Every structure is written in structure tokens, then in C-alpha cells.
A and B are shown apart, each in its own frame.
Chain A
Amino acid sequence: MEGATDELDSRNRAGSVLGSSTTSDGDSVRPSGRPDAIRFVGVHKSFGRNKILAGLDMGLPEGMVSMILGPSGTGKSVCIKHMVGLLYPDSGDVLVHGHSVPNMPDRELFEMRKKFGLLFQDGALFGSMNLYDNVAFPLRQHTEKGEDEIEHIVMRRLTEVGLANAREKMPNELSGGMRKRAGFARALVLEPDIVLFDEPDSGLDPVRTALLGELIRQIHAEMLAEAQAAGKTRMPTFAVVTHDVMSARRVADYINVLWRGRIVGAGPAEVMLSSEDPFIHQFLTGDADGPLAMD
């Protein structure tokens, strides 16, 4: 056990070589030259005696599709909840565009959350509304748009995810995959700066998974182009949480590998995928032999 921890520490150091360096103004910058949209600094989190995050240092570069890759139960969903202030770290800090989430007063937190679109692990559609109303809900609550305009936006998003024909269906009449795609549409309607996906690929068949990955890439590219054309200061950042290495290969620009509450490796996708590091290699190839074991 001791040995394993030591090994982890050295992985972590290896990871941070690939990870961020800090510029003189204190803003951390990726090798890609982009600042981090979201940054975890030494985050610890336990539930009772169950330690989930153990000094997590992680950055998600702005304007990219990042992956947080880790086996089931490592705390990926917990990680996402920290980003939007649904959970608070026991110690450490979470920065979103440089602002500390745990230290935000409630009012500011609610404002900050409007920058986010979040796709929950099983969609989290409102059971009392049909699909259309679910997707229209953020628009009705947060904008002054008329019903015509709302319908235009909603139908565009629903068409994108292939659910235009199911607009009147209630969430309990949808399959798990459909709920996920609907959650995706809902996460996008407000054109957020940061979109978080909690396991968009779990419970989908391989073809759907591939299509969804493609959709994520395509929508990111679209939003990026729109943001650049509009001269926005913030480029759209996508963070995809998954345990599926295949979708990481297809979708990611940047990969963080999370294991036992820490980042054991992080870097641009092409660097990570060709990594010689046995640990990362084992994880990314899904090999049974290697330093990773069931426990």
C-alpha cells in the first residue's frame, strides 16, 4: 500500500510536468498558451471517512474540449459538482475564470452558474414537464425572449440532438440515451461559456456513443466559430467526464487522468495518447496488466 502511494506521488509529479506552468502574473497558462477556464488547486474532499478527492490539482484550458478520464467511483461526478458550487471542498480552491467558487456569496454564485451548462449523468430532466418545456425552461426563466424565438432556439437544439420528433414526450417515456441527448440540448440553450458533460457516453450503444462524441466536437467547433466571429472574450470550454477511453480518443483536445482523488497525468490529447508512462498507458489502452489494479 505504501509503495502504491509513493508510486502515485511520482505519477502526480510526472503529470504536473505535462500540466500547467505559472506565468508571472499568477494566471496559469497551458503549454497551448491558453489560460484555464476552470482550475482545481489542492482540493480535498471527504464524505465521512471516505476520502474522495485527495489534493486534486487540475486545469481545464479555455476554448478546448477537455476530458476528465477516470475509473468508476473515483469522484468524477463529485469533481463536477465542485465546479458549479453544488459541493464545497474541505480544503483547497476551485477557480472558474479566476474567481474562487467556494468563496462566492450566494448571489454571485447563482450569477456565475449561468455561465455553465451541465449535462447530468442521467439527464436530470424535470419529470413534470415534457421535452420541449424542459429545453425551453432556462430560456423562459433567464431571458425575456418571446415564445416564437424560444421555439426557434429549442427546435434548433432538439434537431441537433435528433429529438425534434419527441418534443411532446414526457421524460419517463424516453430511453436513457434520449434523456441524455435532451439534457445536452437543455445544457446548450443559453449558449454557456462552459459546458460540463457527466458521462455522456455511459449506457449508450457504441454507435450512439460515437455519434454523440461527434456531436460534441461539432457543436464545440460551431460555438467556437460563433464566439470568435462575435469577438467574445470567453471561448467556449467543454469538459467531458468519462471512463470510456475510446470516446476520449475521439473527442478530447486535452486529457486529465483522475485516479484515487488525484490527477496522475494531464496533457494535450496527442501527447497523452502516445504516452510511454506505464500507468497512463495502461489506463488509456484499457490493459489488464500494469500498475492499475481493481482495488
Chain B
Amino acid sequence: MNELVEVPRDWLDSMGDVVRFGARVVGRVAGLQVLRYTGETLRQAGILIVSSTLVIWGLVFIIGLQCGIEGAYFNQSVGTPAYSGVFAAWCDLRELVPLCFGYMMAAKVGTGIVAELGSMRISDEIDALEVMGISGITFLCATRLLAALVVLPFVYLCSIGAGFLASYLAVVQQIGDVSSGGFFLIFWQFQNPPDVLFSLIKAMAMAVLVVLVGCYYGYNASGGPVGVGTATAKSMVINIVGVHLISMLGTQIFWGNNPRAPIGG
């Protein structure tokens, strides 16, 4: 029984530390100390673009195809094939694109940060930085957060596009129960610019979470290579849970009281 309580208590404790650490990193970005290391920020931004965009877009594209196929057949079955566009508009924009983005961030970017910072920690590289009079939190963590904030909105908006394109291809080109014009009529009726903004907010909240959790577990890694491995695994769990929580909260807040769509009632 005790052990059953022990584990969640540990998690809660470490969540407190993550929040405190995250606040420091955000402080270094908001306080503009991070601008001293613009070069490093740009380098991190470059790494994000080169190493993560294609994977994210690819994953979102696949999900867009699936959403399109399921939506098309479901609407066919209830005799409203013209309404397939609703699936693309909602399922893609509101739920699955942000979730997939969050997953890929956690799997690729988050674990990457833990592994990188963790190995720097255990090989004394972070200490070496600090001894050179450079704050590790600013140089390593704040630059990564800023890079994410600069680059990821564009990456994300493009991935929404990739999801839409995939749904369009599946509904109109593959299954073909609805014309292109009919698809887009409904598609555009069931979303408006604030929805894109809300979706973006969801995704960026996930991105910030993933980067901060990654930085925390990497920066505070200990116990040699095994410790870095354990930290990576832990960060993945926290990130996936966090991504889901953000997804749920976002849906509740943005669309829970108001579907923001032409639905009578």
C-alpha cells in the first residue's frame, strides 16, 4: 500500500521541481538575458528545423489521411457524404494535429534535449560552462526555449496545412463522394480564424512543456549514463501525460461550451 502511495508522491514532488525550474528558464527568456546568446539560439532553431519538421509534418499527414477516410465513410453511412469536411475541420485542426505534434515533440525534441543536456551534465560540460562564467540555465535551456518559440509556430501552421491536405486527398480524391467545391464549402463553414489560433495555443503549450521538462531532466541528470537513460524515460512519461492534459484542457476551454460551428440547438 505504502509503495502505491510512494510513487505518485515522488511524481508530485518532482512536478514541483519541474515547475520551479521551468519558471527560472522562462524568466531568463522573458528577462531577455537569453539575447546574449543569440548565436546559440539560432543554432538551436536550425537544429529544430532540420531535425524535426519533416517528421512532424509526415506524422500529421498520415493522421490527416486517416481522419479523412473515417470521416468520408461515416458520413456516407448516414447519407451525408457532403459533410465529410467537418471531420477534416474538427478532427484535424482541433484534436489530432495538436496531439500528433505534441507526441512528436516529446519523442524527438524532448528526449533529444534530455539526452544531450544529460550527457553534458555527467561529463562535467555544464560545470565547465558555469566555470567559464556562463549560466547553464540561460545558455542551454533558455536558448532552446526561445528557439522553440520562434520556430515552432511556423512549423505547426504548416503541419495544420499538411493535415488538411491529407484529409482533402482522402475525402475528395480517394473516396470521391463529394466534389472539391462541396468539401471546401463545409470545411470552411466549420472553422474560423480563432480556431486556428486556439489550435496553435494548444500546440505551443505542448511545445513549451516538452522543452522545459526535457531541460529539467537533462540539466539535473545524475548517476552516469544509466541515470541519463532513466531521466529520458521519465521525461517521456511526463511529457505524454502533459500533452494529453493540455489537449483536454484546451478542448474544454476553447470548444467545451461553444462548438463554434453552425450547429443549431
- The residues of A with any CB-CB pair to B shorter than 8 Å are 81, 84, 86, 110-111, 113-114, 116, 118, 120-122, 124-128, 137-138, 141-142
How near does chain A come to B118, taking the closest CB pair, in angstroms?
12
Stretch at the interface among B119-127, B176-184, B232-240, B250-258: B119-127
> With A127-B119, A127-B120 given, is the CB distance from A138 to B127 under 8 Å?
no
**A86→B124 CA distance, assembly (Å):** 11
B132 within 8 Å of A (CB atoms) = yes
**A20→B135 CA distance, assembly (Å):** 35
**A13→B255 CA distance, assembly (Å):** 76
B7 within 8 Å of A (CB atoms) = no
Q: Which of B119, B127, B133, B134 contacts A120 (CB 8 A)?
A: B127
Pair A138/B132 contact, Cβ less than 8 Å:
yes
Pair A118/B128 contact, Cβ less than 8 Å:
yes
Task: Please provide the chain B residues from 127 to 176 with a CB less than 8 Å away from any CB of chain A in the complex.
Answer: 127-128, 130-135
Pair A84/B124 contact, Cβ less than 8 Å:
no
**A186→B233 CA distance, assembly (Å):** 34
**A141→B40 CA distance, assembly (Å):** 11
Pair A110/B133 contact, Cβ less than 8 Å:
yes
- Chain A residue at minimum C-beta to C-beta distance from B47: A128
Complex interface: chain A residues within 8 A of B125 (CB): 124-127
- The residues of B with any CB-CB pair to A shorter than 8 Å are 116, 119-120, 123-125, 127-128, 130-135
How near does chain A come to B91, taking the closest CB pair, in angstroms?
40
Pair A141/B134 contact, Cβ less than 8 Å:
yes
Pair A124/B123 contact, Cβ less than 8 Å:
yes
- Chain A residue at minimum C-beta to C-beta distance from B124: A124
List 22 interface pairs A-B (beta carbons < 8 Å), by A numbering: A84-B130, A84-B131, A86-B130, A86-B131, A110-B135, A113-B133, A118-B128, A118-B131, A120-B127, A120-B128, A122-B124, A124-B125, A124-B128, A126-B125, A126-B128, A127-B119, A127-B120, A137-B132, A138-B132, A141-B132, A142-B132, A142-B133
Complex interface: chain B residues within 8 A of A128 (CB): 116
How near does chain A come to B228, taking the closest CB pair, in angstroms?
13
How near does chain B come to A101, taking the closest CB pair, in angstroms?
12
**A81→B135 CA distance, assembly (Å):** 16
What are the nearest 10 A-B pairs in CB distance? A124-B124, A124-B128, A113-B133, A114-B133, A110-B133, A120-B124, A118-B131, A84-B131, A138-B132, A124-B125
How near does chain B come to A117, taking the closest CB pair, in angstroms?
8
How near does chain B come to A207, taking the closest CB pair, in angstroms?
26
Pair B124/A121 contact, Cβ less than 8 Å:
yes
Complex interface: chain B residues within 8 A of A137 (CB): 132
Complex interface: chain A residues within 8 A of B131 (CB): 84, 86, 113, 116, 118
**A118→B131 CA distance, assembly (Å):** 7
Given contacts A122-B124, A124-B125, A141-B134, 20 further A-B contacts (CB under 8 A): A81-B127, A84-B130, A84-B131, A110-B134, A110-B135, A113-B132, A113-B133, A118-B131, A120-B124, A124-B124, A124-B128, A126-B120, A126-B125, A127-B119, A127-B125, A128-B116, A137-B132, A141-B132, A142-B132, A142-B133
**A110→B124 CA distance, assembly (Å):** 17
Pair B133/A111 contact, Cβ less than 8 Å:
yes
Pair B123/A127 contact, Cβ less than 8 Å:
yes
Complex interface: chain A residues within 8 A of B130 (CB): 84, 86, 113
**A121→B128 CA distance, assembly (Å):** 11
**A187→B124 CA distance, assembly (Å):** 14
Complex interface: chain A residues within 8 A of B123 (CB): 122, 124, 127
